[in-house]
Amino acid sequence: MVIMAIDYGDVRTGVAVCDKFEMLASPVCVITQRKPELLLEEIAKLAEQHKPELFVVGLPKNMDSSVGERAIKCTEFAQELSALTGIDHVMRDERLTTVTAHNALNVTNTRGKKRKAVVDQVAAVVILQDYIDYRRINSLK
């Protein structure tokens, strides 16, 4: 199944997608858009292009596992995206994905403006890869 991951942000939103065999998550882009309604339209256009059967949207829980204002905002965004596109969504805990993304970019020595431009799509890749690994592990049981 093709799955699209969204790392939703107020300014930059990372997007990633996996192949239909759910083997590898790959970056798609970072969308710089402050208006949620325009962001929803841009993601809907990407969905038409990539044909995902499911969205995985990052859920930024607090470190104590509680759900704060940002997590509620992401959940509402995911619900609006599903309503607009007709594609189901799941929320995926994204705690520390940005840290993981920064660590990956350290390995590749990506710095400065280039880092800022790609960190959100790398975070979306981390969210998606975590989800497809979860699906793979749980399908073996």
- Tens of pLDDT, residue by residue over 118-132, are 667 888 999 999 999
* All domains in the chain, ordered by first residue: 3-139 (3.30.420.140)
Grouping H, G, I as helix, E, B as strand and the rest as coil, residue 4 is: strand
- Collapsing DSSP states into helix, strand and coil, what is residue 15? strand
pTM greater than the 0.95 cutoff: no
Q: What is the pLDDT of residue 109?
A: 54
Backbone angles phi, psi at 70, to 5 degrees: -65, -40
pLDDT tens column, 62-119: 778 788 898 899 999 999 999 999 999 999 988 655 656 555 555 555 556 555 556 6
Q: Using DSSP, state whether 52 is helix, strand or coil.
A: coil
Q: What is the DSSP letter of 24?
A: -
